[in-house]
């Protein structure tokens, strides 16, 4: 099992440029991050023992979308309590995120709001 790293943010994002930009921005702000390109990769990373301080979760992704990832996470007691912030350009995701009581950042991401969320958890 990998050492839990309290400073690690897990970016779940299928667009490589967006993921890279997010990671670099977080890095400039002093946070480490890692990238999963879809929900399945993210769940694999968590099952392998990674315990990020926060998950930035895109919704529309191939293989496994953000909602399905969230459902699977909640089914595993060890993972259920990891904080998640939905990051999406899909307006229809807003109501669902509210119903699931998940904070949501709309794309294009406001860097200030992003850092508020990150600082709250990491």
Partner 1 sequence: MRASERTLTVIDQRSGRTQELFRLLVENVIDYAIFMLDPGGRVTTWNPGAERLKGYTPDEIIGRHFSAFYTPADVAAGKPERGLRTALAEGRFEDDGWRVRKDGTLFWANVIITAIHDETGEHRGFAKITRDLTERRRAEGERIKLAQAEEAVRLRDEFLSIAGHELRTPLNALLLHSANLALLLRRGDADASSLLDKAASVTNQGHRLNELIERLLDVTRLSSGSLPIAPETVDLVSVVKEVIATYQPQAEQANSPLRLTAPECVSGIWDPLRLGQIVANLLSNALKHGGGKPVDLSVDTDGAVVRIAVRDYGVGIPREQQNRIFERFERGGAPRSDGGLGLGLYVVRCLAEVHHGTVTVESDLGKGSTFTVSLPLGSSGAEEGRSPEEYNG
Residue ranges in contact with partner 1 by CB under 8 A: 14-15, 17-18, 20-22, 24-25, 28-29, 60-62, 65, 89-92, 107-109, 111
| Measured CA distances, 43 to 57, 59, 65, 67, 116 (Å) | 12, 14, 11, 12, 25
Task: Output the CA–CA distances (angstroms, integers) from residue 110 to 66, 67, 81, 104, 105, in the order listed.
Answer: 20, 22, 25, 11, 8
Of the two residues 2 and 29, which places its CB atom closer to partner 1 in the complex? 29
Least CB distance to partner 1 at residue 89 (A): 4
Closest contact distance (angstroms) between CB of 23 and partner 1 is 9
If the CB atoms of residues 51 and 115 are measured against partner 1, the closer one turns out to be 115
Contact 37/19 with Cβ under 8 angstroms? yes
Provide the minimum distance between the beta carbon of 18 and partner 1 in the complex, in angstroms, as a whole number: 4
In degrees rounded to 5, what are phi and psi of residue 23?
Answer: -60, -45
CB of 84 to partner 1, least distance (A): 18
Residue closer to partner 1 by CB (options 77, 112) is 112
């Amino acid at each position: 099992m990998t050492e839990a790293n309290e400073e690690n943010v897990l970016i779940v994002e299928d667009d490589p440029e967006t993921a890279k930009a997010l990671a670099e921005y977080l890095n400039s702000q002093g946070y480490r991050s890692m990238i999963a390109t879809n929900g399945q990769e993210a769940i694999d990373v968590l099952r392998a023992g990674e315990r990020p301080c926060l998950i930035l979760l895109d919704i529309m992704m191939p293989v496994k979308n953000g909602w399905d990832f969230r459902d699977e996470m909640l089914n595993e007691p060890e993972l259920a309590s990891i904080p998640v912030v939905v990051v999406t350009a899909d307006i229809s995701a807003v109501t669902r995120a509210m119903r699931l009581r998940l904070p949501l950042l709309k794309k294009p991401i406001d860097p200030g709001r992003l850092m508020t969320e990150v600082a709250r958890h990491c």
